[in-house]
Amino acid sequence: MLLKLNNLSKWVQSGGQKIHLLKDVSFWVNEGDFISVMGPSGSGKSTLLNIIGMLDDFNEGEYTFMDEAVHNLKEKHRSNLYKQYIGFVFQSYHLIDELTVKENLEMPLLYKKHGGAERKALVADMLDRFNIVGKKDLFPAQLSGGQQQLVGIARALIANPKLILADEPTGNLNSKQGEEIMDIFTQLNKEGVTIIQVTHSEKNMKYGSRVINLLDGSIVTG
C-alpha cells in the first residue's frame, strides 16, 4: 500500500461557519494504481490532490504515506518526503518562463543535490524518452500547449517518483494533444508508476483503473 487516508477532513471558517472542503474522506492507494478523481466544480478534487501531494494541510483525520504518518510529520520532513516520491503535473503546465526546456527539466534535480554529470545524463534521458531533444533550448512560450505539458510530465518524472499527481493534465489541451498525454500516462502506469489524476472528462477517466467520485467534499463511490 502506497498511501492511506483515514477519515480525513478539511474545512475553512467563513462568517463563523465551518465550511467543509473535505469531509471524512477515507481511501487507499496501492502501488501501480491509476486513479481518477472526479466530481463537479467545488467538490474538493483539487484540495484532495493537494493534500495527498502534501502541499496543503488538513484539519482532522490521518494520512499515511509509505508507512509514514504524514499528519505527525514536521514541515521539513514532509517536504523531503514529497520531494523524493511525488511528481506533480498541472493543468496549466507551470513551467518557469525564464528557463529553457532543458533547464526546466533540470530544476527538480537541483533541489535534490544531484551531481552535474548525473543531472545532464538524466535530462538527456528524459529529452530522449519524450522525443523533445530538438526543443531543449526553447523557452516554454515557444512551445505548443501539448509540448509544454510533455515537458511538465517529463519534469515530474525526472526524479523518478513513485507517485504522479496530475491536476486536470489535459484541461488546457485540444483533444488530440489530450489523447497523447493520456497515452503517456498509461504507458508510465504500465512501467509501475502510480498515478492519481483529477479530471472532468469521462474519456480520460476511462484510462484509469479506479475512480473516486467526490461530491461536496465526500466520496460518493470509490
For other proteins, the binding residues (CB under 8 A) are 46, 50, 53, 55-56, 76, 79, 82-83, 88, 90, 92, 94-99, 103, 106-108, 110-112, 155
Residue type at position 174: N
Angle between helix 145-157 and helix 116-129 axes, rounded to 10 deg: 130
Sheet hosting strand 17-29, strand order edge to edge:
17-29, 3-14, 60-65, 68-69
Compute the distance between CA of residue 88 and CA of residue 211 in angstroms, rounded to an integer.
19
- Pick 17 or 141: Cβ nearer other proteins: 141
Q: Which of 36, 76, 38, 70 is nearest to 53 (CA)?
A: 70
Q: Give me the least distance between CB of 206 and other proteins, in Å please.
A: 27
Residue type at position 101: V
Q: Give me the least distance between CB of 90 and other proteins, in Å please.
A: 6
- Pick 76 or 176: Cβ nearer other proteins: 76
- Pick 69 or 96: Cβ nearer other proteins: 96
- Pick 92 or 142: Cβ nearer other proteins: 92
Q: Which three cell numbers mark 22?
A: 473535505
Which backbone phi and psi does 83 adopt, to 5 degrees?
-55, -40
Q: Which three cell numbers mark 137?
A: 533550448
Compute the distance between CA of residue 91 and CA of residue 207 in angstroms, rounded to an integer.
17
Residues 6 or more apart in contact with residue 176 via CB below 8 angstroms:
146
- Pick 33 or 106: Cβ nearer other proteins: 106
Q: Give me the least distance between CB of 111 and other proteins, in Å please.
A: 4
CA distances from 179 to 13, 67, 88, 155, 203 (A): 40, 35, 19, 19, 9
Q: Give me the least distance between CB of 104 and other proteins, in Å please.
A: 9
Q: Give me the least distance between CB of 88 and other proteins, in Å please.
A: 5
Q: Give me the least distance between CB of 45 and other proteins, in Å please.
A: 13
- Pick 109 or 193: Cβ nearer other proteins: 109
